[in-house]
């Protein structure tokens, strides 16, 4: 078995953290698949005004150890990290994969004061999850989408050519500048997802972990946890497609209808569902609005410092 696909089930232990400090109760930030603790730079200044802000690298990402990726192992790593921080149990905010992980972790931590899930939904798996879309169209689009992810896994199994790395850096710097964000912070976030071995550059989490994450996202079912939630929970959904999603627009729009219907039927007053006029890149497209949504929600639920 190649190093790119070797896995184990040993405990991850304490995860790497970026403790940004700040006033008020602690909040733990969990990034999305392929990201790192550095992805939160657009929101940190606003969040620090009301919270002690701690961002972590999820298992297999950034500087964190790898191995088999599953919800239970990732939750164990969060438990160890929170214990080491010594802050008490923080509110938790997650993006995408991190949003679902926040829901799972809070589900086994009744002392978690509040949860914010930013566009973290299970992967679309079947035509039954695509209301209003013809079944044969859904099947065809799902197959094409799976093929793209298969190709991504194959690419991540080997080193990245240097021109590809430079293109990633240039693209993220340009996007940050266009959004009025720090290009240097954007480059740091990109490079945090890369590792050098024997003079070659590889992306994290790597092909094997990506395969695990895809399986975890297909199997995820947060809706029973939402129905049983005993702490305030905010679920934020993006309303638009990323550029790379646009060829699957009919599929993603149908799945958004499915997710909205599932959330609307929860009948748990502790769970609030809202949407934002942004894509899955909402941290970068609407950083101020997203930060305000988080801090206002936490303040309303008694787990944050009121606005000032």
Mean pLDDT (the chain, rounded): 93
- pLDDT at residue 298, as a whole number: 96
**Candidate CATH numbers 3.40.50.1820, 3.90.1200.10, 3.40.50.2300, 3.60.70.12; the one for domain 17-300:** 3.40.50.1820
Helix 71-85 crosses helix 97-107 at what angle (to 10 degrees)?
70
pLDDT band at 306 (very low <50, low <70, confident <90, very high): low
Q: Is the separation of the CB atoms in 38 and 62 below 8 Å?
A: yes
Q: Which residue, 252, 283, 4, is CA-closest to 137?
A: 252
pLDDT at 1 over 70: no
Q: Which pLDDT tens digit goes with each residue over 210-227?
A: 999 999 999 999 999 999
Q: Using CA atoms, how far apart are residues 84 and 150, in angstroms rounded to an integer?
A: 37
Instruction: Give the pLDDT of residue 8.
Output: 54
Task: Please tell me whether residue 308 adopts helix, strand or coil conformation.
Answer: coil
Q: Give dist(CA 79, CA 235) in Å, integer.
A: 22
pLDDT value at position 111?
94
> Using CA atoms, how far apart are residues 143 and 246, in angstroms rounded to an integer?
16
Cis (ω within 30 of 0) for the bond into 105?
no
Question: pTM of this prediction?
Answer: 0.94
Proportion of the chain above pLDDT 70, given as a percent: 95
- Domain coordinates of the chain in residue numbers? 17-300
The better pLDDT of the pair 155, 102 is held by 102
Kindly list the distances between the CA atom of residue 196 and the CA atoms of 50, 193, 199, 288, in Å, as whole numbers in the listed order.
Answer: 37, 10, 6, 34
Per-residue pLDDT tens digits for 260-288? 999 999 999 999 999 999 999 999 999 99
The reported pLDDT for the residue numbered 299 is 95
């Amino acid at each position: 078995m190649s190093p790119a696909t070797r896995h184990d089930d040993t405990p991850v232990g304490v995860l790497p953290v970026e403790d940004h400090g700040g006033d008020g109760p602690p909040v733990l930030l969990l990034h999305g698949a392929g990201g790192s603790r550095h992805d939160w730079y657009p929101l940190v200044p606003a969040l620090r005004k009301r919270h002690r802000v701690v961002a972590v690298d999820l298992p297999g990402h950034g500087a964190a150890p790898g191995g088999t990726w599953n919800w239970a192992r990732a939750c164990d790593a969060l438990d160890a990290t929170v214990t080491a921080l010594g802050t008490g149990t923080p509110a938790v905010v997650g993006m995408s994969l991190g949003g679902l992980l926040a829901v799972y972790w809070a589900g086994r931590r009744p002392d978690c004061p509040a949860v914010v899930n930013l566009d973290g939904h299970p992967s679309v798996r079947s035509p039954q999850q695509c209301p209003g879309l013809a079944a044969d169209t859904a099947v065809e689009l799902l197959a094409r989408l799976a093929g793209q992810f298969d190709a991504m896994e194959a690419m991540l199994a080997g080193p990245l050519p240097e021109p590809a790395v430079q293109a990633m850096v240039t693209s993220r710097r340009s996007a940050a500048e266009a959004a009025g964000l720090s290009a240097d912070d954007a480059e740091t976030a990109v490079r945090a997802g890369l590792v050098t071995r024997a003079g070659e550059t590889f992306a994290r989490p790597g092909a094997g972990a990506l395969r695990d994450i895809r399986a975890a996202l297909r199997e995820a079912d947060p809706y029973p946890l939402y129905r049983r939630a005993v702490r305030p929970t905010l679920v934020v959904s993006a309303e638009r497609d990323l550029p790379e999603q646009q060829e699957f627009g009919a599929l993603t729009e149908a799945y958004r209808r499915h997710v909205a219907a599932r959330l609307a039927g929860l009948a748990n007053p502790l769970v609030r569902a809202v949407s934002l006029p942004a894509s899955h890149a909402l941290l970068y497209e609407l950083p101020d609005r997203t930060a305000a949504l988080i801090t206002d929600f936490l303040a309303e639920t008694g787990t944050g410092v009121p606005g000032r």
